[in-house]
Amino acid sequence: MKIWKQKETNIQTQELTRIAKQYNINAFEATLLINREIKEEDFMFFLEDSVNLLHNPFLLKNIDKFINRINKAIKNNENILIFGDKDADGITATIIMYETLKDFGLNVSYKIPSNGEFYGLSNELINTALEKKISLIITVDNGISSIEEINYANSKGIEIIITDHHLPGENFKTENIVINPHLKDDKYPFKEIAGCCVSFKACLALSMSFTDLYSKNLVFLFLEKTKNEIILHAIEINNYILKQYLRLNNKNDPLINSNKLEKFVQNKCIIIFNKEDQNELLNKHFAKSININTIDISENFIKKYPNFIKKTLTDLIQATKYFKYKEVEIKDKLYYIFYNVIFETNKNLLQKCLKRLSFVAIGTIADNMPIINENRIILKVGLKEIALRERMSINYLLKDANILTKPNITSADIAYKIAPILNSTGRLEKADIAINFLLTNDINQIENKFKEIKEINELRKYKEEKAWNSDSIASS
C-alpha cells in the first residue's frame, strides 16, 4: 500500500496571497503552482486555454518566404507533393498541410514511406516526383537531415520546403526554405513543438496572409498620454513581421519630430486603434506639417467586442490577459496587440485551420513532446475540438476505444488508446491507410479503412507479443 506524504513547503502567506490575487485563482491553486515549482512566467500555460495565447507563427524564421512560395505555386498552378513521416506526428503533420493547401485550390498530393522505404527523402522519390511533373516538395516532420537528397532534387529543378522540428546538423546549410524553430537566429519563443505543430504554424500563417492588411507595408501608431508628456510609439510591420520601432516625445523639437515621423511612415499604410482618441493627439503634437491618413483597426474589433466602444489602446493593453503574465517592452506589446486584433477579427477565415488543432494535439501527445509552454494550450484546445465529435474518422477511433460518449477527452486517452493505433500503421509500413482514413468524409471509405487499420493493429499486437515471448524464453 502506498503512503502519500505531503510535500514540505515553506510558502510565505504574503506571497501566496499575492499570487492568488494577481492571477485571480484560489489559495489551493496558487499553492499547487508553487509546489510544482512552476515559474511565474509559465503560469499562463497552466491557467489559460485560449487559442489567442498560442505563439505568433510569424515569429518563425522564413515564414514570409514560405507564404511567398505557396502564392507563387497558386499563381502558376504548380503540382505540389507533401512528404511526411510514417509515425502519428508525421501522419497528422501531413494531413494539416494537405488539407490547408487543398483549401486554397492547390494541386497537391502526399507520400509517406511504406513497404520498407527508409525515413526521409530519397532519390527514387524525387525521380518519381519528376515523372509526375512535381515542381515543389514540402517535407513535414522530416527533411532537415536530407541535404544530399535536397541537392539532388534542386539539380533536377524541384524546389524543397522543409518543415521540421528535429535538430539541424552542425554543418546544415541550404538555399531552400526551411521552417524549424531550432534554426539559428529563429525568434520563435518555444522550441519543443512537434512536427505537426510546425506544419500547423506554417498553415496558420499562410491562412492569415489572405487577410486584407498582409501584403501592405504598415506602421502601427500609438499615442500614449502620461502625466507630463505625450509619447508617440510606432512600429513598422511588413507581411505581419515586426521590422523596427520609433519613439518620439512631444517635448522634443517639433520640426525634428515631424521629420522623423514623416520619414518613418513614408509610403506606408498607417494604422491606429480608436481614431477619435489617437488622431487628435497625432495632429496636435506630431503631425502638424504632414498629412497622415490612418486606418482604424478597432472598427471590426468593436463589432465583435462592443464593450470596447470608446475604449483606447491603453484600455485594450490593460485588458489583455497575456500582459498579466508577461512583462514586455512597449514595441512588443504593440506588435502583440496588432497580431491579436488581426487574428480575432479574421477568425471566420481561420476557422478551418484552427479546427485542425485536434490533429496537432494528437501528434504532440503521440510524439511525447513535453507538456509545457504552448503545448499545454494546444492540448486543451485540441482535445476540446476532438470532444465536439465533428470529425467522423476520429469518432470511429473514439468509439473503438469506448470513449465516444465520454464528456472530456484527456491526453491519456490519446496516448494510450488513439496514438498506438495510428502508430501501428507506420510500424507495419501502412501509414498511407491511416491518412486516407482520417482525410475522407465518405462513410463507406471510413468503415473500410478503419477495418484495415484494426487488422494492422491486431497484427502489430501479435508481433509485439511474439517478440516479447521470444525474449522471455531466451532470458530464462
pLDDT tens by residue, 4-32 = 555 545 567 888 889 988 899 998 999 99
Q: Check: CB of residue 353 under 8 Å from CB of residue 207.
A: yes
pLDDT (average), residues 454-471: 77
pLDDT tens by residue, 226-239 = 888 999 999 999 99
In terms of DSSP H, where are the helices of 79-189? 88-103, 123-131, 147-155
Q: Is the pLDDT of residue 37 over 90?
A: no
pLDDT tens by residue, 432-447 = 999 999 999 999 999 9
Query: What pLDDT score was predicted for residue 14?
Result: 84
pLDDT tens by residue, 57-110 = 999 999 999 999 999 999 999 999 999 999 999 999 999 999 999 999 999 999
pLDDT (average), residues 245-253: 93
CA distance 62 to 59: 9
Q: Which residues, 6+ apart, have CB-to-CB distance to 339 below 8 Å?
A: 56, 58, 240
Which has the minimum average pLDDT: 55-69, 276-290, 335-349?
276-290
Query: What pLDDT score was predicted for residue 5?
Result: 53
Secondary structure letter of residue 380 according to DSSP: H
Q: Is the pLDDT of residue 119 over 80?
A: no
pLDDT (average), residues 452-456: 91
> Which range, 14-23, 267-276, 350-359, has the best average confidence (pLDDT)?
350-359
pLDDT (average), residues 29-37: 89
Q: Check: CB of residue 83 under 8 Å from CB of residue 125.
A: yes
- Exposed, middle or buried: residue 227 (CB in 10 Å: 0-12, 13-18, 19+)? exposed
Q: Check: CB of residue 337 under 8 Å from CB of residue 343.
A: no
Percent of the chain with pLDDT over 90: 73
Percent of the chain with pLDDT over 70: 95
b/e map 228-246, b = 16+ CB within 10 Å: eebbbbbbbbbbbbbeebb
pLDDT (average), residues 457-466: 78
Query: What pLDDT score was predicted for residue 248?
Result: 96
- Exposed, middle or buried: residue 9 (CB in 10 Å: 0-12, 13-18, 19+)? exposed
The per-residue DSSP string of 32-53 comes to: HHHHTT--GGGHHHHH---GGG
Q: Is the pLDDT of residue 424 over 50?
A: yes
CA distance 197 to 376: 12
- The three cell numbers of residue 264 are 518613418
Query: What pLDDT score was predicted for residue 460?
Result: 78
Neighbouring C-beta atoms of residue 138, cutoff 10 Å: 29
pLDDT (average), residues 33-43: 89
List of domains in the chain: 13-47 (no CATH), 57-209 (3.90.1640.30), 217-348 (3.30.420), 350-472 (3.90.1640.30)
